[in-house]
Each structure stands twice: as structure tokens, then as C-alpha cells.
Structure 1
């Protein structure tokens, strides 16, 4: 009996260490989508990272992405209560090495104080998408990045966010929570929708978890990405829902007749 108890304790310890290791993995997932409104041969590369929380972004990851992305999008929960300010600053500084950074609020971010958070973001010229949009010239196309406030601690004004969107724009919609995807699609169908928040359930047993695992769902001329996120909330443990960040490439279909 004592032998079985010992085996059980060893199993629990090993499982805990395995889950801890999974929580600190670095997995860069690559996705691509053909956009018919983009010119032949045009490409646009988005690095999307959400739910960083307490994690420190490794310099090795940043070095591996240098020159490979056009913009960085932070999908909320950059930080939370109890995270050292210098760690959050260091993460922003690391991401800003890759290019212009855009950000939407997450439900935990304001725990450190909105004024303090905005000050850090402004220090590194991070563009806050708070029920607003911004246009990015990419070759002959206009990429319109649309972002909304966090629906848990802020007021979402989704119609305001889409106010300056043109039907000719390539539209990327960013929300911390995917619950707002359908609201966005009622206004105009974005070409790419990005969100995190759910952590893939963080701990899953096969197909079972609090939330569904992260997904990249591609449809004709559009795609939806719900990320498992880079960090964790609560205990730094994962199982069956790998930590992840993403490179999404939008490109025009090459005319094979030329």
C-alpha cells in the first residue's frame, strides 16, 4: 500500500513539473490567408501575442522574429496585478524591437492602474486601439486595424471603432475576448479577427476544458484566430492547451498566368 502511495506521489510531482514546463514553452504558430482585395504578390505579416500576464518575453524569441513581421498586435492582458512594473516595461520594449506595436485592453490590464499602464505604452510609442481604428499603407493596399475596449472593465463602442473603415480596406479586427467577433461581423465582415482571453481552458483533459482550445478558422476571404495566449493566469500551469503566439500572413493570390 505504501508503495502505491509513493508511486502516486511521484506521478503527481512529475505531472506538476510537466505542466509547469508546458506553461513556459515558446510556440510560434504560423498561419496564412489569401485576401482577394490585396494585389498579386502583396504580403503583410502580423505578429499577434495575447495574455502575457506574468511571463517574461524571451530575447531569443524576439531575435528569431526580427525582420519577419510588419506590425505587432498585443491582444490584451499584457499585465495584471502583482506583476513588477519593470517586467511589463521590458516586455513592451522587447516587442517594440519588431516594429510598430498596437494594443487593445484586456480584463486584467487595468489592475495596475490605467494611467500607469498608458504611460508605459506611450513611452514606447505603442498605439492603443480603444474603440478606434488606424490605417496602415501596405503597397497598394490599406490595412485597417480596428480595436475595441475591454468589455469587462471598459465600455465597448464597436460602431465608433468602425467609423472610419472603408469597404476597400483590408480589415483586421482585434478584441481581447472573441465574444465580440459576431458584433463586428454584423457591421462589416473583417478579413481577419484576432482575440485571446480564453487561454484554451489552460488545463484540459483530452477534449474537455473550461473553454475550447485555441483555433484558427479559415473561411473564404477571412479567418478567425482565438489564441491560447502566451502566459497564464493563476498558477503557471498548462495541460492540453499549449502556450502560443502567432505570425499571420495576409497575401494576394499570385496570378499564375503572368
Structure 2
């Protein structure tokens, strides 16, 4: 009898955890850069960790929500797929997102799972660029926005040793706003004063994804940051501000416990040097299903 109860509870937990993968949330984050002026507000929509092999959110549902946020810029921070035969599926999925047509385009960096494709990651890159994405592999691009130039710095995956921070900053101007895209948040620990970063966007940790045992993330081998409970959301590390998305898809099993699929709308602006910066604001909205899943 006891085993039946335990088995029933485990089954119930797994069913709930699978259901949770459909419960997408829109998080809205405001960040003010205090030491610069004349920039923003700029609306940046971040998508991360799509993991097409275990994805419960339909492309149409994602596109509808993305359209509603009216972003100026879309950024994708890595881990789109594991297997090369899903390249076409991934590109067709992201093609819906690109049709949102943000003013300043769509920028992409790769994560560790994307590099599992080996040499075929070049095929993925070419396909993404064909649909209008700008893929940054240890490089940068400067966009002329209203008020100040915005330099998007794309650092390749740090987890597998693909990152080259000095190369990423080779052509970065000192003036303007510096937005860094880096899949692995631990990248921030390898950056120093010669690597300006007004805001860093990353993913990789999935917010723990299946948080059954408290603090298990401290010993799971995700790098240094989770050991200090830096797993999701906004943090200040070594004088730099970083936001860690919980991501849209799942790794391993298609389940989530005490974690939700996330897309994030960041509103980035500058303050005036003579005015103290406002505290960062974060809010979230449940995104109901519009079409019943993938």
C-alpha cells in the first residue's frame, strides 16, 4: 500500500512537471545604466535555450507573444538543438520569430548543445543567417540607435571552451552602450575591466529546471556561479550586471519543477550622472496557451 502511494505521488509529480513545460511566463525587466546618458528606452526581447528536441511551446504561440511585446531588438542566447536532423525544425521555428521584424534585427550566439553538432554547426549558422539572424561568434556589431550607438558583443560558449573574449572585443568602440550575449553566465568571471559590459544576457542553467532537492545546483557541476546561488534572474557580479534566463526548452527530460519556460523583455535605458540609478524592476505575466501546444 505504501509503495502504491509513493508511486502515485511520483507519477503525479512527473505529470505536473511535464504540464509545467507548457506554462510559459513573460518576465519584464527594467535596467538603468547609471554612468551613461542619452540612451533608451530600448526594448530587448531575449529567448534562450529552446532545445528543439524537448520544446512544448508552439512557434505560433511564441510569435504572438513576441509581437505583443513590440521589441526593438531580439536576442537569442544559445542552445537551440542537440541533433543535426533537427536543424530544419529549429530554423522553421525561429523563422516565425524573425517575422516579428524588430527595428534593430535579431542577434544570435551559440551554446554548448549547439556545438554538439560538431562541424555541422556551420550548417546551422548559415541557415539562421539565411532567415535574417545575425550570428555572432566571438565578434561584435555596432548599431546606430537613437541617442547613442549600441554595440552587441557575442561571446561563443564558455562551457566547452569556445569563448574568446579578447577576440570578441577586438573592434568594440569605447563609447556608447555595450550589450554582451554569452550563453554560459560563468563567462562573466573571465571578463575584466578591459571588457566593458553595461548589460550581459545569458541562459544555460534553466533555473535549475527540476528543483526537487534544494541547493542541488551547488554541486551539479554548472560552474562557479551556482555554487553561490546565482542561477537565474538579475545579479551583480564583479561590478557587472547580468541577467540569466530560465530558457524556453528543457534538457534531458521534458519536465520542469519549480521552474517555468521563460521569455524576457528587457527595457534598457541610461540615467544621468547626477541622478542615482533606480533599482532594477522585474515583473512577470503568465502567458496562456493560444493554440494548445507545439
TM bracket, shorter-chain basis:
0.7 to 0.9
Partner of residue 93, structure 1: 95
Q: 1:144·1:169 contact (CA, 8 Å) conserved in 2?
A: yes
d(CA) in 1 for partners of 2:148 and 2:84?
42
Q: 1:57·1:94 contact (CA, 8 Å) conserved in 2?
A: no
What aligned pairs does 1:134-173 form with structure 2 within 5 A after superposition? 134-153=141-160, 155-173=162-180
The one of the two structures with greater contact order (alpha-carbon pairs below 8 A, sep at least 6) is: 2
* Unaligned residue ranges in structure 2 (runs of 5+): 218-225, 276-294
Q: 2:178·2:199 contact (CA, 8 Å) conserved in 1?
A: yes
Alignment partner of 2:122: what SS?
Answer: helix
Deviation at 1:206, TM superposition (A): 6.2
Count residues in correspondence: 252
Partner of residue 209, structure 2: 202
* Unaligned residue ranges in structure 1 (runs of 5+): none
Deviations 1:77-106 (CA, angstroms, capped at 9, x unpaired): 011126633320122202212222111111
Q: 1:51·1:231 contact (CA, 8 Å) conserved in 2?
A: yes
d(CA) in 1 for partners of 2:138 and 2:88?
28
> Pick from 194, 219, 228: which aligns with 1:187?
194
TM-score w.r.t. the length of structure 1 is 0.88
d(CA) in 2 for partners of 1:154 and 1:91?
28
CA-atom RMSD in angstroms: 2.4
**How has the CA–CA distance of structure 1 residues 168 and 105 changed in structure 2, closer, same or farther, with 3 Å as cutoff?**
same
Alignment partner of 1:187: what SS?
Answer: coil
What aligned pairs does 1:45-60 form with structure 2 within 5 A after superposition? 45-54=43-52, 55=55, 56-60=57-61
d(CA) in 1 for partners of 2:245 and 2:85?
22
d(CA) in 2 for partners of 1:17 and 1:190?
41
d(CA) in 2 for partners of 1:33 and 1:215?
12
d(CA) in 2 for partners of 1:150 and 1:186?
21
Q: 2:46·2:263 contact (CA, 8 Å) conserved in 1?
A: yes
d(CA) in 1 for partners of 2:127 and 2:37?
35
**How has the CA–CA distance of structure 1 residues 28 and 192 changed in structure 2, closer, same or farther, with 3 Å as cutoff?**
same
d(CA) in 2 for partners of 1:222 and 1:39?
20
Partner of residue 278, structure 2: none
Q: 1:33·1:222 contact (CA, 8 Å) conserved in 2?
A: no
**How has the CA–CA distance of structure 1 residues 72 and 204 changed in structure 2, closer, same or farther, with 3 Å as cutoff?**
same
Q: Which moved more, 1:110-119 or 1:131-140?
A: 110-119
Deviation at 1:25, TM superposition (A): 2.0
d(CA) in 1 for partners of 2:250 and 2:71?
25
Alignment partner of 2:12: what SS?
Answer: helix
d(CA) in 2 for partners of 1:83 and 1:46?
30
Instruction: Confirm or deny that 1:109 pairs with 2:90.
Output: no
